[in-house]
Structure 1
């Protein structure tokens, strides 16, 4: 990997891109106005919250494995070792009772899953977007672009089009939807929004991430349950949530820069294409998580962050780590391989412990926690590295700085 450049800064004379009207509008720009900035940030979860013990008992009950010692002991081990204390889910006990077709192995139930996913996605996605817009404080008529990300299912008309309407955005907003990208979608989405913002100081990009993973839950093969316990592992690790950001550059005096986006970097880990994956079948989404994922992360994350910080005078010790908590094993791998102190991943572990792995959305929760903690904790650094990992295995990174 070549060292990254400062991608998110304009040409030496950014005013050359502006009309006189633009210059008048943006005269209250910050000291470094050429950076793309996160101007608003919001998150949301479904109402149903369960402890990991209760969630484990629920899936054993609804799938009929409560009296199967192997399955029960496996779920109990995962609950204790996952680092997750509780999480929020759409697919509650009542949802399964109302939709018994979700309880069978390889049943053709994709239609039922879509019918549960659609309203839940719209509800939590709209709520996160509204919170980000409120946090931004601008006029939603100034939103120029809308991007949506969701790995847990598909919609047509797509999620971006649906949200554009319910959020009462202008019909001229440029919009597109990204589906099935994976857990690295959060950093990918912020980076993409930052790149769009660089094209024009008038651009205001709303990026919305919605993951309703519980609707994709799968059961074991009753003919040989011990052959593959991974469906229960995936069910236990993943939670549901949504997040959104508003991104732009040259903030007006009514806007506040939460985080400046200074650099981005992407790396595809060699020989890891089968480690993380998913396939959408008639029986729903089937996810693959191989045991070697933490090992791959451990072998490459140190060099990745070293190059992200190249020529910055920053080190592993004096940046915040907003690491996607894909699981306790992932965070342990990052901590050990990068020789971090336990407190450096405290925000990521807190989000994992209270929400589980919410896919692409999760890193937004980590950034939001760091933002809130910074108001009361003087040990939070000005600079932050945001990291996420997804299929490929793809590593995505951002170097960000808290606004004034």
Structure 2
């Protein structure tokens, strides 16, 4: 074989009101956030899904055929991982040429590396990935780093202080006075939270030249566990690594030339909903051997019960209906999440084609995935407005409306 190229819930049927459900007029003109540049980045290491299944089955002592069958249900072809190619090669080949704690040794703890070792890997590999995405976004926008007045970072797979934010300031030569904000532990909809925050900051920023840079980076794979329990297998089959960034400014400061036409987006509104009685539906907790995820098999059922009763009125208060949405950027948490969303909203199969394709080609990158979807929709000149939708611990749904 060649070396790899490198969450007792009570159920309810009536959604609870949230602050974002209060009667709201359409957003006033000039209050949007204009995305001037968007960049994405993936690690060098790439494994076919079958390779990953065989490696993890061997490490966990599981039946390879059963493990492979579970992995095929994810509808993923390949994923990118941040661990170095030689470490991935050891994992695939069953060798121990590297001294990486991610490569199991005979008699080693089946729980894998300690949380400290996993955080060390995060600190080593996340900054470079974040920098690559940010550089692409800045270059596309033609924006000088010294104009970046606000830096928003997003991640739920690692923490360090100083961390990715400082690496971005140093690596991009951002102003020492840049104002920082971190959106942490929000899960797969983290980039939605960040862009909604960017819109709020842009609305009060007085400097017409000031830009806001948002960078989401996740190394989900450093939390893979080799124990053959169902929760670990599901996470191992779905998640991958990547980064994405956007740079932009408030609509009131953007010139006519920089307003979105065929390529950029304008973030015009956002909303959130906590589904009642689902606090244990999806969890992401810090353990002694990395972060541990639980995912209740009833998540699609709860999406079916709560999403449309909340989203339809939310859109109606903005003068829109489900049929008004030109394109959908639904975070591909997994095939069943996409199926449940499409069924709940009555969407045709092609409405989520980009989400399904992204899942197949890249896996679930957690927070950066929404930005990958926006980039793919943009390249296709997909119809607008776009509704970006993600789910996370809560169980929560978060949305963005983009034009």
| Other-structure match for 1:25 | none
Q: What displacement does 1:247 show?
A: 2.9
Deviation at 1:86, TM superposition (A): 1.2
Secondary structure in structure 2 of the residue aligned to 1:274: coil
- 2:303 alignment counterpart: 297
2:280 is the counterpart of 1:263 = no
Matched, 1:317 2:323: yes
Q: Counterparts of 2:90 and 2:153 in 1: how far apart (Å)?
A: 26
Find the residue that maps to 2:380 and give its secondary structure. Answer: helix
User: Structure 1, residues 55-103: CA drift from partner, whole Å, max 9, x if none?
Assistant: 1112223x142xx32xx34422222221211111123524754356433
CA–CA separation in structure 1 for the residues paired with 2:191 and 2:320:
23
The match for 1:93 is 88
TM-score by length of 1: 0.85
The aligned runs of 1:368-387 (5 Å cut-off) are 368-374=375-381, 380-387=382-389
Give the secondary structure class of the aligned counterpart of 1:187. helix
Partner in structure 1 of residue 71 of structure 2: 79
* Aligned equivalent of 2:399: 397
Q: Give the superposition deviation at 1:279.
A: 1.6
Residues 125-136 of structure 1 aligned to structure 2 (within 5 Å): 125-136=130-141
- 3-state SS of paired residue (2:72): helix
Closer, same or farther in 2 for the Cα pair 1:326/1:107, shift >3 Å? closer
Question: Structure 1 stretch 245-254 or stretch 348-357: which is displaced more?
Answer: 245-254
Instruction: Report if the CA contact (8 A) 2:26-2:318 is conserved.
Output: no
Alignment of 1:182 onto 2:187: yes
CA distance in 1, matches of 2:130, 2:51: 26
Is 2:24 the counterpart of 1:5? yes
Q: Which residue of 2 is the match for residue 284 of structure 1?
A: 290
Tell me, yes or no, if the aligned pair for 1:150 and 1:178 is still in contact at 8 Å: yes
RMSD: 2.0
**In 2, are the aligned partners of 1:136 and 1:256 still within 8 Å (CA)?**
no
Deviation, structure 1 residue 179: 2.4
Describe the SS at the equivalent of 1:144.
strand
Distance 2:77 2:152 in 1: 32
**Residues 108-140 of structure 1: CA distance to partner in whole angstroms, max 9, x if unpaired?**
622322232222101110001111111211222
In 2, the alpha carbon distance for the partners of 1:122 and 1:325 equals 25
SS of 1:184's equivalent in the other structure is: helix
2:224 is matched with 217
Q: Which string of whole-angstrom CA distances, capped at 9 and with x for unpartnered residues, describes residues 164-188 of structure 1? A: 1111100000012232221110111
Check the 8 A contact 1:138/1:255 in 2, yes or no.
no
State yes or no: 1:197 paired with 2:202.
yes
1:59 aligns with 2:26: no
- Aligned equivalents of 2:144, 2:255: Cα separation in 1: 12
How many aligned residue pairs are there? 363
